[in-house]
Chains A and B, each alone.
Chain A
Amino acid sequence: MIYKDSKILLEVRGLCANVSGTEILKGLDLTVRSGEIHAIMGPNGSGKSTFSKILAGHSAYEVTGGTVMFEGQNLLELAPEERARAGVFLAFQYPIEIPGVGNSQFLRLTYNTVQTHRGKEELDPLEFDDYVREKMKLLEMSPDFLERSVNEGFSGGEKKRNEILQMAMLDPRLAILDETDSGLDIDALRIVANGVNQLANKDNAIVLVTHYQRLLNYIVPDYVHVMEAGRIIKTGGKELAFELESRGYDWVGVEHKATARATA
């Protein structure tokens, strides 16, 4: 929701980045204030996941220009784990499997690490078990997932739910959900969206990366951005998503080029 006078959480200016020598982001601008929900849409390969991972600090991407400020500090100076502790959360498009590492053990370590960083009490295994089961109810997840290895053998949709479970546990300031909706069945989509809505409040912000308007019926965005070739080329309200759904992306690029020419 857009609140009057709310603080800027994330401010990205002219972000450029390379991976293996190829330029992927080419001057990306984005401002996110607390309380807001943003959707980023755009064709395959336009750089949405790249942008998400750069915000989270993935070392494979080299930032070659621009700035990223998060709550007034230079996000690019922080190590990935420091960003996470500061409240940046990324729900991965493809959550990785970690065989041998118990999900509950992993969840407790991440929860306690972040809590400690916030000057809060850690939970012992029993307390944590109660806590996490409560959160799992929100997402209608079976407690059986606690006994398994992190994401190992989880179905696509189960992995996505496990991501949102972590979001619910860690209570981030800025949550970036990279195609959390893809791979979810109709019921799961509703449940996960419901969970996300319950987590959204006036002090945090959510950036949804998605290809489908469908998700935005459940989680209603304040802004919809179109990304193409490493840049945000159009920003609108939630209606823009409907327009994209019916017309595709081509016209946005055409329009963008026309305005670029006109202002040149």
Chain B
Amino acid sequence: MSATLQNLVNQPYKHGFVTSIESDVAPKGLNEDTIRMISAKKKEPEWLLEFRLKSYEAWLKMEEPAWPNVHYPKIDFQAISYYAAPKQKPKLKSMDEVDPELLRTFEKLGVPLHERMALAGVAVDVIFDSVSVATTYKHKLAEVGIIFCSMSEAVLDHPELVKKYLGTVIPPSDNFYAALNSAVFTDGSFCYIPKGVKCPMDLSTYFRINTEESGQFERTMIIAEEGSSVSYLEGCTAPAFSSNQLHAAVVELVALDNADIKYSTVQNWYAGDENGVGGIYNFVTKRGLAKGVNSRISWTQVETGSAITWKYPSCVLLGDNSVGEFYSVAVTNHYQQADTGTKMIHIGKNTRSTIVSKGISAGHSNNSYRGLVKIAPSATGARNYSQCDSMLVGHQSGAHTFPYIQVANNSSQVEHEASTSKIGEDQLFYFAQRGINAEAAVSMIINGFCKDVFQQLPMEFAVEATALLSFKLEGSVG
């Protein structure tokens, strides 16, 4: 690697600062009392406390998964604090009431909220250390019957909806981290789109971990009733801490007949430094249930951050003719590790799924695609198309593909394509010979490589994702 290129990759993390808002942090450790404490703090109904305790019980009996292609020291779950809420004043009616320090934080993140909202017409539900501090555009959305609020609020204001769907797509016993999340989740977003309503704007959440050594356990749920549609954007950033932090979120989506949910993520959690010290452990369970006929669930993710990413946004295609999509760009650099992909479970007739995965590995990082396409006997006429492309930047990174295909009927069609390419010195020399410097060349190559995924993103996000990728990778070749 040439020196200029080195410098470019080694850009310090722009979002690494700690906001000095006073936090209300629970003592470290996890036991039934911690769970009772969280539930009590949030004034939750009894059934939810029970849900948490059952999940905790299940979790105690489970083992951390060892199959992902990632390596890290054992996590001490008793050394984590399971609740951190910014000490906030009572409920806020407008953005003006939000702690100015918090607003400054967002500004430093490059997310000037009001501006962003005004420009993009985006409703942002701000998650700041697990507790939602401001919900905007809520009233405008309420006019058409859309509920968009924090999970804590939903539990109090719409308990019947939460109770009906919580844990139905991802049961607490689904996996180790989902069980942990089900026991200790603190907040998250809740969206409900009523029958026949097309959500008039993209809904957006900015997540952020701010307290050192506090785990972040969000729980997000989106319900799209018959004939409705919604596009949801999730962006994440976390400041730089030298210790590793755990982030174990759960996201459940339910699409009923003819409903359409599009879920887009740009993940830029702190990735650790260039020696692999620090960074977020991002162990996330995301799954959508395409429950109704002709329903559609589409995941688009751009994963650039976290020391370790373990994440498989999946679709269960239950309704006949339902559609599942997964578009992913995962970038790793330095000592980052990512094991990500999707599961497409075809159950309904004529269900269709598309998987487009682009993995980019630079530095000493390791990037794995893991995907399951499962076609049940009932899913006659099902079709899947998968395309998994890896790009290596430099000589010390690794790319791996683990596709699992299980087809249980013979009227179905599964297609899998894979490729590995490399940004080589000679490609960069070709650009240079035509006057184009390495930064511009890398960004052009990467954008070309990712374009099938980027074009799935809403406009503002696509621009942000493009910038983020160039920023992450510039100079990692040479």
Once A59-B2, A60-B425, A100-B451 are accepted as A-B contacts, the answer to whether A84 and B432 lie under 8 Å apart by CB is yes
Cα distance A166–B444 when bound, in Å? 18
Indicate whether B466 reaches chain A with its CB closer than 8 angstroms.
Answer: no
B424-478, CB < 8 A from A: 424-427, 429-437, 440, 444-445, 448-449, 451, 478
Cα distance A57–B434 when bound, in Å? 12
CB pair B445–A101 under 8 Å, yes or no, is yes
CB pair B433–A80 under 8 Å, yes or no, is yes
Indicate whether A154 reaches chain B with its CB closer than 8 angstroms.
Answer: no
Indicate whether B78 reaches chain A with its CB closer than 8 angstroms.
Answer: no
Binary interface encoding of chain B residues 398-437 relative to chain A, with 1 for a CB under 8 A from any of its CBs, else 0: 0000000000000000000000010011110111111111
Cα distance A79–B436 when bound, in Å? 11
CB pair B448–A113 under 8 Å, yes or no, is no
CB pair B432–A98 under 8 Å, yes or no, is no
Among B435, B451, B478, chain A packs the most CB atoms within 10 A around the CB of: B435
Indicate whether A110 reaches chain B with its CB closer than 8 angstroms.
Answer: yes
Quick one: which of A56, A60, A106, A109 contacts B433, CB cutoff 8 A? A56
- By a CB distance below 8 angstroms, the chain B residues around A56 are 429, 433
Indicate whether A18 reaches chain B with its CB closer than 8 angstroms.
Answer: no
- By a CB distance below 8 angstroms, the chain B residues around A66 are none
Indicate whether A140 reaches chain B with its CB closer than 8 angstroms.
Answer: no
- By a CB distance below 8 angstroms, the chain B residues around A100 are 445, 448-449, 451
- By a CB distance below 8 angstroms, the chain B residues around A79 are 432, 437
CB pair A98–B434 under 8 Å, yes or no, is no
- By a CB distance below 8 angstroms, the chain A residues around B426 are 96
Q: How many residues of B are in contact with the other chain, CB < 8 A?
A: 22
CB pair A101–B448 under 8 Å, yes or no, is yes
Indicate whether A248 reaches chain B with its CB closer than 8 angstroms.
Answer: no
Nearest to A150 among chain B residues (CB) is B430
CB pair A98–B445 under 8 Å, yes or no, is yes
Cα distance A166–B429 when bound, in Å? 15
Nearest to A149 among chain B residues (CB) is B448
Indicate whether A256 reaches chain B with its CB closer than 8 angstroms.
Answer: no
Quick one: which of A60, A99, A113 contacts B435, CB cutoff 8 A? A113
Indicate whether A14 reaches chain B with its CB closer than 8 angstroms.
Answer: no
Among A53, A79, A98, A170, chain B packs the most CB atoms within 10 A around the CB of: A98
Binary interface encoding of chain A residues 108-124 relative to chain B, with 1 for a CB under 8 A from any of its CBs, else 0: 01100110010000000
Indicate whether A130 reaches chain B with its CB closer than 8 angstroms.
Answer: no
- By a CB distance below 8 angstroms, the chain A residues around B433 are 56-57, 80-81, 83-84, 89-90, 92
Once A60-B425, A98-B430, A99-B421 are accepted as A-B contacts, the answer to whether A110 and B448 lie under 8 Å apart by CB is no
CB pair B429–A58 under 8 Å, yes or no, is yes
Indicate whether A105 reaches chain B with its CB closer than 8 angstroms.
Answer: yes
Cα distance A60–B478 when bound, in Å? 11
CB pair B444–A106 under 8 Å, yes or no, is yes
Quick one: which of B425, B427, B435, B451 contacts A117, CB cutoff 8 A? B435
- By a CB distance below 8 angstroms, the chain B residues around A98 are 427, 430, 445, 448
Indicate whether A225 reaches chain B with its CB closer than 8 angstroms.
Answer: no
Cα distance A57–B437 when bound, in Å? 13
Indicate whether A43 reaches chain B with its CB closer than 8 angstroms.
Answer: no
Nearest to A57 among chain B residues (CB) is B432
Cα distance A99–B430 when bound, in Å? 13
- By a CB distance below 8 angstroms, the chain B residues around A53 are 429
CB pair A109–B440 under 8 Å, yes or no, is yes
Indicate whether A95 reaches chain B with its CB closer than 8 angstroms.
Answer: yes
- By a CB distance below 8 angstroms, the chain B residues around A166 are 434
Once A59-B2, A59-B429, A80-B429 are accepted as A-B contacts, the answer to whether A170 and B444 lie under 8 Å apart by CB is no
Cα distance A83–B429 when bound, in Å? 12
Quick one: which of A58, A60, A84, A105 contacts B434, CB cutoff 8 A? A84
Q: List 12 additional contacts besides A81-B431, A81-B432; criterion CB under 8 Å.
A: A57-B432, A57-B433, A59-B478, A84-B435, A96-B427, A98-B427, A100-B445, A101-B445, A101-B448, A109-B436, A113-B435, A114-B434
CB-defined A-B contacts under 8 Å, sample of 10: A59-B425, A79-B432, A81-B433, A81-B436, A81-B437, A85-B435, A96-B430, A100-B445, A101-B444, A109-B440
A-B interface, 4 closest residue pairs, ranked by CB to CB distance from nearest: A100-B448, A80-B432, A110-B434, A101-B448
